[in-house]
Amino acid sequence: MTKEEMIKRLEEIVTALKDENTEVDTEALEEEARGLRAKLEDLNKMENRKALADKINNDVIEARKVNDEEARKAEISDIEKKANALKEKRSITVSSSSLLTPKYQGKEINEKFNEVSTLIDEVTIDKLDGGESYQEAYVKSYGTGGQTDEEGNYVDAEPEFGYADINKVKVTAYAEMTEEAEKLPAQDYVAKVENNMNIALKKKLIEFLLNGTGTKSFMGIFKNTKEITGKNDVKIDKIDNDTLDKIVFSYGGTEDVEEDAVLILSKEDLKAFAMLRTTDGRKLHDIDIHNKTIDKIHYIISSQCHPVSAPDEEGNFDCMAYGSLKNYKVTLFSDTEIAKSTDYKFKQGITCYRASVMAGGNTIKLDGFVRVKKEVTP
């Protein structure tokens, strides 16, 4: 029954009660009238609440429009300030959150093939502005319970802990751009500079992440002998039909087969997996380039991995790593600072840019990765 129908019915009840010539059930009409009035009151309350909600929502929309416009003006102002600062050879500061956050790179800024592995964006990222080097605790082993001795003493079963050093180091990068870039609109110019420097910094961070020695660099996965003991490392001289199974089942503890691990490898070795064939000539592995999986096992390509398939005559090389990327932490201790110089290559019309950020990184879980090493027999 609509609101209008309820009002009309109440009017009919009033008319019936006033008509002295008609016999009616007074109690029934009174009961019906009370019910209708209660429904009308509820309906009026709902209409009032909706009107209030609409008013508040309209106010919020207007406030958002104002805030969005102010934010847009502030962003444009900040971009113009950065552009002017760079042109005047003053350094600028860029939030490090944009350094390790995956984002689309517009083709009007950079049309080259991707030069940076996504590896650095997939590991654990921590932000500690102004902080210093610190240690991250991890469990090395758990104790095993047992029976009490003759005197009723409990068996010691305390866990053993280790501590991964996250050392603060200065990561620097250098890039060159033609002076034509300064003729771009302010937004495009700043974006181009920041993008180029982020690429340069990320390439260095990935180098540290995999091959850092811990001296003025991260402790890299391939060089780590403390958090990664190497007892489960896989040693091969070529990629064959058993290689992937060896890697997968060498990782993790004795009670589980881990599911969230990622294979870090070179593009050449991914090609080597793709070239494997069964005895009847079919592809051995199902490689999904779109989803980046080998038989549903996720992979990440990095040029910092030495290919197993490279024609090395002698020596031992770290070629792949397999494990959960949550087991590696990169800590950013500062924002990124970018400075400009036109002195070095003035005659060529080349502008030089330098960027730096304070960061550190290490594996934060005991044997958090298993490494694949190529052993070449002389």
Are residues 29 and 133 both part of a single domain?
A: no
Is position 78 within any domain? no
312 alpha-carbon distance from chain centroid: 35
Same domain, yes or no: 170 and 278 = yes
Residue 124 belongs to what domain range?
96-376
Q: Indicate if 127 and 30 belong to the same structural domain.
A: no
Same domain, yes or no, for 186 and 284?
Answer: yes
DSSP H or E stretch at residue 82: helix 26-87
Same domain, 57 and 107: no
Burial label, 303 (beta-carbon count in 10 A; 0-12, 13-18, 19+): middle
Which tokens in the block code for residue 27? 């109690």
Q: What is this structure's pTM?
A: 0.66
CA distance 303 to 320: 11
| Model pLDDT for residues 162-213, shown as the tens digit of each residue | 899 999 999 888 877 777 776 777 767 777 777 878 888 899 999 999 999 9
Bridge-based pairing of strands 297-301 and 262-265 is: parallel
Same-domain pairing of 125 and 240: yes
Residue pLDDT, tens place only, 264-309: 999 999 999 999 999 999 999 999 999 999 999 999 999 999 999 7
CATH number of the CATH domain containing 156: 3.30.2400.10
Based on the fold, state whether residues 249 and 191 are members of the same structural domain: yes
Query: Using one digit for the tens of pLDDT, what is the confidence trace for 323-349?
Result: 999 999 999 999 988 887 777 777 777
Q: Do 42 and 163 reside in the same domain of the chain?
A: no
> Which of 313, 320, 318, 321 shows the shortest CA–CA distance to 376?
313
Q: Within its chain, how far is the Cα of 34 from the centroid?
A: 61
- Domains contained in the chain, number: 2
Residue 350 lies in a domain: yes
Are 22 and 107 members of one domain? no
Give the orientation angle of helix 3-18 with respect to helix 26-87, to 10 degrees. 160
Instruction: Say if residue 221's pLDDT is above 90.
Output: yes
- Domain co-membership, 33 together with 138: no
d(C-alpha 309, C-alpha 292), whole Å: 20
pLDDT band at 40 (very low <50, low <70, confident <90, very high): confident
My answer on whether 64 and 103 are in the same domain is: no
Residue 7 phi/psi, 5-degree rounding, is -65, -40
> Tokens in use for 52?
């209030």
Question: Considering the domain boundaries, does residue 125 fall inside one?
Answer: yes
Please indicate, yes or no, whether residues 289 and 366 belong to a single structural domain of this protein. yes
